[in-house]
């Protein structure tokens, strides 16, 4: 066995051990027939950028997100004669990285059907475009698995399992605002999403799809590269606690200006870390820069609107219903979402 194979086997063993720790005696349950589940995508207001444990996807800091409601993933899992993945109506080749990632995740669970699983997934967010499609995908997958196996997991337990598929998936088990607690345990059992007891009916997110194409850098690869090479990475870790405090206070007060300033600043700080990496990670395009300038110009003219960005070129606008008409008039192409 090569060194790379040994590392891969060790990582898989640690991930399987984490699954068994969550399931306990339920790890012996056999899959039954089929189940369908939905999970909404989320957008981080304070970003997750950097892992303290790559294998278990344990973050270096807490993060905080808001859900995207009807934007997300529906997944159906059923027993089949062999493993098969269908995404948005099309069969995905077994060697495709998307299929590999899904079935490597399913292989972590102790009792598998004799033939395999057919996974039928419908995404209403662009895959690999920086709009958190993997977060909703793995959250929906875990919910569906819970139905197929009859585990009756708590949402916190599902959050821990979903994190093993995609870090930010641990925040997609709930609607509304969710804080991802980084945790301290090396096994990751205390690293999970936790919903905030907060409601903000007037808040809106405007999805501005600048570029729907696949990203040049996978988020996980970009995180590892930034952690290893960006001279701004340590400063990023110092910024996050302050931004978390600001965002939670803004949510409690329903203060859109305070929320917008903190979320926009946090996104720009994350992208600064990327630009400073060696070589740099650049998700921005010329269209991204123009969109950012448009938001800044609108705000200078009195429109209370801010933006955030994840690991991709696309913007998510933050505003309240009172500014909705002006925002939609200025950018009629955006998709308005009630979180």
Task: Tell me the C-alpha to C-alpha distance, in Å, between residue 121 and each of 89, 93, 217.
Answer: 8, 14, 23
Tens of pLDDT along 62-121? Answer: 999 999 988 999 999 999 999 999 999 999 999 999 999 999 999 999 999 989 999 999
Question: Is the pLDDT assigned to residue 1 strictly greater than 70?
Answer: no
Q: Give the whole-angstrom CA distance, residue 134 versus residue 127.
A: 8
CA 279 from chain center: how many Å? Answer: 25
- Tell me the pLDDT band of 3, cut-offs 50, 70 and 90: very low
**CA trace torsion 71, 215, 95, 27 (10° rounding):** -50
Confidence (pTM): 0.94
Q: Given phi > 0 = left and psi -120 to 50 = alpha, else beta, which region is 222?
A: alpha
Q: Give the whole-angstrom CA distance, residue 309 versus residue 208.
A: 10
Q: Give the whole-angstrom CA distance, residue 194 versus residue 170.
A: 9
Tens of pLDDT along 171-212? Answer: 999 999 999 999 999 999 999 999 999 999 999 999 999 987
Task: For residue 218, give the 3-state DSSP assignment.
Answer: coil
Tens of pLDDT along 119-148? Answer: 999 998 755 445 568 999 999 999 999 999
Query: Could you tell me which residues are beta bridge partners of residue 77?
Result: 35, 119
Q: Where are the alpha helices (DSSP H) in the chain?
A: 3-23, 97-106, 133-149, 155-165, 219-229, 233-253, 256-276, 286-300, 321-330
Question: Is the pLDDT assigned to residue 284 strictly greater than 50?
Answer: yes
């Amino acid at each position: 066995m090569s060194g790379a194979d040994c590392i891969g086997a060790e990582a898989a063993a640690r991930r399987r051990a984490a699954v068994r720790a969550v399931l306990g005696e339920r790890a012996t349950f056999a899959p039954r027939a089929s189940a369908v589940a939905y999970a909404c995508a989320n957008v981080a207001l304070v970003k997750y950028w950097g892992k303290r444990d790559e294998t278990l996807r344990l973050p270096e800091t807490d993060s905080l997100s808001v859900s995207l409601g009807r934007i997300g993933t529906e997944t159906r899992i059923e027993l089949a004669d062999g493993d098969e993945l269908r995404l948005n109506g099309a069969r995905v080749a077994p060697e495709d990285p998307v299929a590999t990632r899904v079935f490597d995740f399913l292989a972590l669970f102790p009792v598998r059907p004799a033939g395999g699983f057919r996974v039928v997934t419908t995404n209403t967010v662009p895959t690999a475009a920086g709009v958190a499609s993997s977060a909703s995908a793995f959250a929906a997958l875990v919910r569906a698995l819970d139905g197929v196996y009859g585990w009756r997991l708590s949402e916190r337990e599902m959050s821990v399992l979903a994190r093993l598929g995609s870090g930010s998936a641990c925040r997609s088990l709930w609607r509304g605002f969710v804080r991802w607690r980084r945790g301290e345990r090396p096994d990751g059992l205390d690293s999970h999403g936790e919903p905030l007891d907060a409601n903000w009916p007037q808040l809106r997110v405007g999805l501005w799809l600048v570029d729907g194409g696949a990203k040049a850098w996978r988020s996980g690869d970009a995180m590892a590269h930034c952690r290893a090479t960006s001279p701004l990475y340590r400063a990023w870790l110092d910024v996050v606690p302050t931004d978390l405090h600001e965002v939670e206070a803004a949510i409690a007060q329903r203060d859109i200006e305070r929320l917008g300033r903190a979320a926009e600043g946090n996104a720009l700080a994350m992208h600064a870390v990327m630009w400073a990496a060696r070589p740099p990670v650049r998700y921005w395009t010329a269209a991204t820069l123009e969109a950012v300038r448009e938001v800044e110009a609108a705000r200078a003219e009195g429109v209370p609107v801010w933006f955030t960005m994840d690991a991709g070129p696309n913007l998510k606008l933050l505003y309240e219903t009172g500014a909705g008409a002006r925002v939609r008039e200025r950018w009629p192409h955006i998709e308005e979402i009630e979180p």
